[in-house]
Amino acid sequence: GWKMEDVLEEEIKVIKGMVGPEDHVICALSGGVDSTVAAKLVHKAIGDRLHCVFVDNGLLRYKERERVMDLFEKRLHLPVTCVDATEEFLSKLKGVTEPEMKRKIIGKEFINIFDLFAHDVEKKVGKKPTYLVQGTLYPDVIESCPPPGSGRTHSHTIKSHHNVGGLPKDMKLKLIEPLKLLFKDEVRELGKILDISEDFLKRHPFPGPGLAVRIPGDVTAGNSLDILRQVDEIFIQSIRDAKIYDEIWQAFAVFLPVKTVGVQGDQRTHSHAVALRAVTSQDGMTADWYYFDFKFLDDVSRKICNSVRGVNRVLLDITSKPPSTIEWE
């Protein structure tokens, strides 16, 4: 029950007091709600001494890079460097099928790219960046250390956390975590005050390793990424059109590395199957599969097979968590 206007004002005051006039601050944007709200808030406090980067790892959704860069630049007026690291990520993932190995490679490559960015900033401003902004929320904090007793401490030692992509090693950055005492719904409220659109603030979560955890096996094989992007976009757009997006915690398509026989037109086809997954959840720890109505499923299945080349079968994932996880890997 805090007033978010007061929280915002207080946070800005604290950040202004903490970050000296010569200090520079870096931030990796994921395109998600938390990092965007955190960056916008810090930008309000210190302006262009904040340097943000958005990394396209080649594992993003349909037009995701264009969409978030447009939001950052045109709507939020946040200075963001976009790095296209598709080649770097995909070449390292080639032939890798083991899920944990895929995650490790992606995490490590992210550190490399972020490290390069930090050094670019250093070259540009003539000084090593001092601070790193992270969109850590209160539930993440209580997961990794005891809750803060009184007052607000704004920098603590760097901990590993699944959203922490990794840190430039030789920089000894101090953390700025302006959302660290807030819950998700409070972050959304703060985002509204910062003039971030409600549509964006209600976006479903998206995992750091991206589409790699939605393509079992080698993500670089064939045109699986391209097919998955198209199927996912149709599914999400249909969910938006049906006005059920906000009832769902997460919805997405999964590419199956399986070919089955179909018949399309007068042609026998031997094409891929895809799965659709949608769940409701409070926090992602447990989840229930979402009950679509049959008409919706029928429409979306037809639409996918009619418009995505290389797909002739659509399956629905009807498992909850547990026993399944939300993602497929």
Instruction: List Cβ neighbours of 181 (8 Å cut-off, separation of 6 or more).
Output: 138, 141, 148, 152
Q: Is 135 in the site for ligand XMP (CB under 6 A)?
A: no
Q: Is 303 in the site for ligand XMP (CB under 6 A)?
A: no
**How far apart are CB 208 and ligand XMP at their closest, in Å?**
3
Closer residue to ligand XMP (CB): 194 or 287: 287
Closer residue to ligand XMP (CB): 249 or 296: 249
Q: Is 36 in the site for ligand XMP (CB under 6 A)?
A: no
Q: Is 208 in the site for ligand XMP (CB under 6 A)?
A: yes
Closer residue to ligand XMP (CB): 19 or 132: 132
Distance of CA 175 to CAs 271, 303, 319, Å? 48, 46, 39
Amino acid type, 21? P
**How far apart are CB 100 and ligand XMP at their closest, in Å?**
10
Stretch binding ligand XMP (CB under 6 A), from 69-77, 130-138, 203-211, 292-300: 203-211
Q: Is 284 in the site for ligand XMP (CB under 6 A)?
A: yes
Q: Which of 36, 57, 130, 250 binds ligand XMP (CB under 6 A)?
A: 250
Q: Is 321 in the site for ligand XMP (CB under 6 A)?
A: yes
Do 157 and 105 meet the contact criterion of CB atoms below 8 Å apart? no
Instruction: List Cβ neighbours of 114 (8 Å cut-off, separation of 6 or more).
Output: 28, 53, 55, 165, 166, 167, 168
Size of the site for ligand XMP (CB under 6 A): 13
Q: Which of 17, 20, 139, 205 binds ligand XMP (CB under 6 A)?
A: 205
Q: Is 326 in the site for ligand XMP (CB under 6 A)?
A: yes
Residue 217, annotated as binding a ligand: no
**How far apart are CB 26 and ligand XMP at their closest, in Å?**
19
**How far apart are CB 139 and ligand XMP at their closest, in Å?**
12
Residue 208, annotated as binding a ligand: no
Do 230 and 308 meet the contact criterion of CB atoms below 8 Å apart? yes
* CA angle centred on 245, ends 241 and 250, rounded to 5°: 135
* 173 DSSP 8-state letter: P
How far apart CA 72 and CA 51 sit, in angstroms, is 12
Q: Which of 86, 97, 163, 320 binds ligand XMP (CB under 6 A)?
A: 163
Q: Is 137 in the site for ligand XMP (CB under 6 A)?
A: no
List the helix and strand counts (H, then E) for the chain. 10, 9
Closer residue to ligand XMP (CB): 13 or 162: 162
Closer residue to ligand XMP (CB): 33 or 42: 33
Residue 31, annotated as binding a ligand: yes
Strand partners, 50: 25
How far apart CA 245 and CA 326 sit, in angstroms, is 17
Residue 261, annotated as binding a ligand: no
How far apart CA 219 and CA 211 sit, in angstroms, is 8
Q: Is 166 in the site for ligand XMP (CB under 6 A)?
A: no
Nearest to 181 by CA among 147, 138, 139: 138
**How far apart are CB 276 and ligand XMP at their closest, in Å?**
15
On the CB side of 39, how many CA atoms lie within 13 Å of its CA? 26
Q: Which of 31, 209, 216, 217 binds ligand XMP (CB under 6 A)?
A: 209
Structure tokens at 146: 């005891």
Distance of CA 183 to CAs 200, 224, 303, 326, Å? 17, 36, 38, 21
Binding residues for ligand XMP, rule: CB under 6 A, are 103, 162-163, 205, 207-209, 250, 284, 321, 325-327
Q: Which residues are annotated as a binding site for ATP?
A: 30-36
Q: Which residues are annotated as a binding site?
A: 30-36
